[in-house]
Amino acid sequence: MNIMSPVASSSALDSDYLLSSPKDDEIFPTFERRVSARGLISKYNDEFVLKNTEKAYEQQYASLYFLRLTVLKPRVSKVAADAWNGMSILSQEVKAVDRVLDVRQGEFCWIVGTIYIEMSLKPNILDEITKEFWTTAPISKDKFVDPQHDAIMLEDESGRVNLVGSTIKSELLVTGCVVAVLGSETTSGDFDVVDIRYPELAPQVPREISTGHERKYVALVSGLQVSGDIHETYETSMLFEYLMGELGGSDDSKRASEIIHVIIAGNSFANRDSPVSRDEDSQDNNSQKKKKKYGYDSKSYNSKPTEALDSLLADLSTSVSVDIMPGEQDPTNYSYPQQPINPALVPRTRRFLGSSFRSVSNPCWWDIEGLRILGTGGQPVDDIFRYIEDDDRLQMMEYSLRWQHCAPTAPDTLWTYPFRDNDPFILNETPHLFFAGNQPEFKTKIVDGDNGQRVRLVTLPKFSETGQVVLVDVATLACEVVSFGLNGAGR
Amino acid sequence: MASELYSTFLATRIVHSQEAITYRLLSRELKIHTALAKRYLYAFHCSSKSIYPDKVHATYLISGQKRPATTASGDVLMSDVSSPPSTLPDTDVAVEEEIVQTAFELVPEEELEDMKSTFRKIAYVHVYSLEPARLPEDFISLAECGRKVRDIDLEEDPHTISQTYGVIAEPAAKRQPLGQLASAQSKPAAILTTKTKAPHTEPEVKQRPPSKPSTMSSPLPPVGKTDRDRHFKPKATTEVEVSSKDIKKEKRESPPIRKLTSPALKSASTPSTTIKKTKSGSPTSRSSSQASQELQSMFSSSEDENDKDEREDIVNTEAETPKDVIGAIHESFISDDINLSIDKTPAKPKDTNIKSEDVEMESAPMLEGPGESITNLTLTKRAPRRGRRKVTKPIHTKDANGFLTTKYEELWESYSEASDEEPSATRLAGPVKRSSSPVPKKEKDMSAKKENGSKKKTASSGQSSLMSFWKK
């Protein structure tokens, strides 16, 4: 509900209404946000948040792959059967083969398994050890892909087979996705692929689109990179002022009041060191070797980022409900899924815990007024980026949905916890909104599925670089961007 | 009039003190709506041109839509996903989605017109801040103003902020008071909080916690656990705020959780000892006849008095167990009828509701008195739970690097060798703690330990018993 003043309606106020002398008895509008449902979907989130007492690291990652295959195999088999059953190639009917190793030469069949891509440029622990003894050429860690030398294999419980063929080369594949491939075995023992199928989009919970004329938005922002330095970029303050309804004129405030929830998706803190690597030449290692004391090294610990962010969030929490999700550089565990940032880091904001502030895991599922949202801090997409040659992030996100897995490269190149009972990254349903934070730029598109699913994909740019925050309309899935700038500082 | 006030205010701030001021800071300092503050800044800026030429510089904020307006993001409609997915269906029609982009730009007044021309459609322009001279590129001084604003906002209730300054109100926002949060974090304490939030706030309760340095604290809590908490439920309310920390610490164990610092509580053994001692040796001894009156006056008197009152009551009743005493006090509050019902069950935090811990807390101060007064309690039942002493103990913990480190920590310990403090509590569950068994076990063994408390005490330092080798 809006508390509108009896003075001139906001739309009638011209752009300069604030550039005039104050009148004594004028009342200015103050808006209020609607009470809305902003919950987390606990059945998924509970799998991401691991209890410290229950974490066990004795198991191997193989069980994670096995679980993934067990769950996704029936799904992709169904898609493949629908497509290929009854089909005949070269007057030979294709049939399903249960095990990869059971494929016979010359026979057209289809098999289901997990893709594994052998890449020489992938970080390899053996390489790092080798580096200690011999000097090796520096390799760029941006991408692992090396089209000439990479080998794509299909693996299941029985074994692996090499996939060849032009069809497979042009597909977007990463290690860990479960697919069905149709083809036959060649003389050299490789599997020549003719066609490929994915599990496709999972079923989606239908959403009632409210037809009220009042709009509701979810604000998504990532990469705040609050450092607390004196020379901190001022846009962050402007963003928070806008969200609180103080910046701009009354229409701006009105729009801001339609934002019912703010999600801060990752990398809110600046200055996180990269995890220790065995690379002796790395700067981190050199500085770390000097530190021999227990407890924290006061020279390297800087409390300014947390204090600054705490101050900002505490102010913001008085006005809107906020969720903070950790990102790659945030003070929480590095492996995926990242645990929620401990609220003790933000003591002032912590006082709003339970009312308008919440710390969530990465990834996280939300249910905001019926809109089901899956959000990540961007690490899975960044990791998929390293596997393919181009840079279409939206495509990568779309494929994640089609593979029904939001982090397929875990545990291969994306560090993760060795889950034992289930693979929590498997998507059992398709969200209505899927966003990834800390991406190079803002991009969005709508993806439609076979069974009427409709998803809005959004890549969030880093706020510290672009000054942009994305607003998504809860009812219509429309996107808007609000940007903040200082003196036209070019971006 | 208001207009003169603000112009004086702004003149002082900008011209004389040479400080920048944003509309937000102005609104907080004058307690006005931010829109009004923007107007004030504008008006002052205009008037200052004649009065203080070149001494006041304005920074403007422009909001609107910039050119170019559309952001083409290639909205590809995937109508047929089942088509051979080897190539993305880019053959479908790509619809360019028009994304509405709103921009907010902060510009110094010199560049206002230039910046305006980059906007396709201007929504609003207003003065953002006034400063003595043009701000540097990164607008540092505005950050300082922002900090001040947030510090001011921190003290106020969210709804007040909304009404006074025109900030958008969030109905769900609720800032918990300090100290409340500690209890909110720990489960039992949380329950305690909610329960104790119940209707009453008795001043007596409020006053009790502060008077912690009492050696008589230990005997009472166990006693009070079952009887007292029932009665003291309403009174425990305000206790929570102050004693939430204590509650948290107490939650784990039964009686010995005397985190109420009681320097003299070295030799506390049983409640009755306390009782007796207070009676005899307490510097603040009172006549027994005053007991009931004091009890009643507890509601309004100072905390010290309350403590003494409680003590007195205990003393007077000559209860067999602290529980009796507590029970007596209860009763006296309720019915002025002192009932010496002996409750022999060892009170454990987990048995009773959380309030009991709160009650323990309250009762702790009640039995305050010099430490030595506890030494000769005849009742041995409470003996293990009672002693609280400060002990320097080596704590073995696993460092972040995986190394075993030993730190010497001063802990409050009771005879059952349970530590009151949180950090030591967690260490107790650590891998190398030798002096007591892990936390879960501890609760179970509490009763056993009570009896064995003295035995353990006499065991070699750091080793509770021979069984600890196997228990650990």
Task: Determine what percent of chain B is predicted with pLDDT higher than 90.
Answer: 3
Residue B203: per-residue pLDDT: 42
Report the distance separating Cα B348 and Cα B37, nearest Å: 58
Chain B contact set for A488 (CB, 8 A): 105, 107, 111, 114-115, 118
Say if A260 is an interface residue toward chain B (CB within 8 Å).
no
In chain A, residues with a C-beta closer than 8 Å to the C-beta of B405 are: 294
Backbone phi, psi, residue B299, to 5°: -65, -25
Residue A363 has pLDDT above 60, yes or no: yes
Taking an 8 Å cut-off on Cβ atoms, the answer to whether A31 and B168 are in contact is: yes
DSSP assigned state of A416: B
| pLDDT tens, position by position, B423-454 | 444 444 444 444 444 444 444 444 444 444 44
A277: closest CA of chain B, how far (Å): 15
**Among all residues of chain A, which has the CA nearest to that of B27?**
A246
pLDDT > 70 fraction of chain B, expressed in percent and rounded: 36
Distance (Å) from the C-alpha of residue A134 to the closest C-alpha of chain B? 28
Contact check, Cβ <8 Å, B171/A32: yes
pLDDT at B323: 53
A16-30 mean pLDDT: 76
pLDDT higher than 60, residue A267:
yes
Give pLDDT, residue B278.
40
**pLDDT mean over A278-303:** 53
Q: What distance in Å separates the CA atoms of residue B366 and residue B374, rounded to the nearest whole number?
A: 14
Instruction: Give φ, ψ of B408 to 5 degrees.
Output: -100, 125
pLDDT digits (tens, 9 = 90+) for A60-82: 888 899 999 999 999 999 999 88
Query: CA of A294: which chain B residue's CA is closest?
Result: B399
Beta strands A38-40; A364-368: pairing state: antiparallel
Q: What is the DSSP letter of A264?
A: E
The number of helix segments (H) and strand segments (E) in chain A equals: 12, 20
Selected residue with higher pLDDT from A302 and B231: A302
Per run of 10 residues, the mean pLDDT along chain B (length 472 residues) is: 76 87 90 88 87 85 77 40 36 58 90 88 90 80 88 87 86 79 46 40 42 41 42 42 42 42 42 42 44 48 43 43 51 45 41 41 42 42 56 77 77 56 41 43 44 46 70 64
Percent of chain A residues past pLDDT 90, beyond the cut: 37
Q: Where are the alpha helices (DSSP H) in A96-194?
A: 125-133, 166-169
Q: Which residue in B has a C-alpha nearest to residue A468's C-alpha?
A: B103
Q: What is the mean pLDDT of chain A?
A: 83
The answer to whether the CB atoms of A31 and B181 lie below 8 A apart is no
Dist. CA A336–CA B111, nearest whole Å = 46
What's the pLDDT at A439? 93
pLDDT digits (tens, 9 = 90+) for A156-167: 888 899 999 888
Instruction: Kindly report, residue by residue over A221-230, the tens digit of the pLDDT.
Output: 999 988 877 7
B88 vs A250, more confident: A250
- Smallest CA–CA separation between A137 and chain B, in Å? 32
Q: Provide the β-strand partners of residue B411.
A: B391
Structure confidence at residue B181 (pLDDT): 57
For residues A430 and A282, which has the higher predicted lDDT (pLDDT)?
A430
Confidence of residue A434 (pLDDT cuts 50, 70, 90): very high
The answer to whether residues B145 and B24 touch, using CB atoms and an 8 Å cutoff, is yes
pLDDT for res B472: 57
pLDDT for A114: 93
pLDDT attached to residue A390: 85
Which tens digits make up the pLDDT trace of A370-403? 899 999 999 999 999 988 888 899 999 999 999 9
Q: Is A320 on the interface with B (CB under 8 A)?
A: yes
CA distances from B218 to A181, B326, B360, B413, B414 (A): 73, 12, 8, 12, 9
Quote the distance between the C-alpha of residue B129 and its chain's center: 36
The pLDDT score that the predictor gives to residue A170 is: 85
State whether A234 and B143 contact (CB < 8 Å).
Answer: yes
For residue range B219-228, list pLDDT tens digits in order: 444 443 444 4
Residue range A119-153, pLDDT digits in tens: 887 777 777 777 777 666 555 567 877 777 888 99
Which residues neighbour A221 within 8 Å (Cβ) at sequence distance 6 or greater?
A: A239, A262, A263, A264, A265, A460, A463, A469, A470
Chain A interface includes B61 (CB < 8 A):
yes
Out of B39, B137, B175, name the one closest to residue A22 (CB): B39
Question: What pLDDT score does A93 carry?
Answer: 73
Nearest to A445 among B73, B105, B146 (CB): B73
Residues on chain B touching A481 (C-beta within 8 angstroms):
71, 99-102
Q: Is A82 exposed, middle or buried (0-12, 13-18, 19+ CB in 10 A)?
A: exposed
Q: Contacts of residue B107 in chain A, CB cutoff 8 Å?
A: 487-488
Nearest to A321 among B142, B172, B177 (CB): B172
Q: What's the DSSP call for residue B60?
A: E
- DSSP three-state, residue A460: strand
Q: What is the pLDDT of residue A462?
A: 93
The pLDDT, as a whole number, for residue A124 is 74
Neighbours of B67 (CB within 10 A): 10
The answer to whether B73 and A445 are in contact (CB under 8 A) is: yes
A37 compared with A14, residue with greater pLDDT: A37
- Report helix angle B140-155 to A304-317, nearest 10: 60
Query: Is the separation of the CB atoms in B221 and B364 below 8 Å?
Result: yes
For chains A and B, count residue pairs whose Cβ atoms are closer than 8 Å.
279
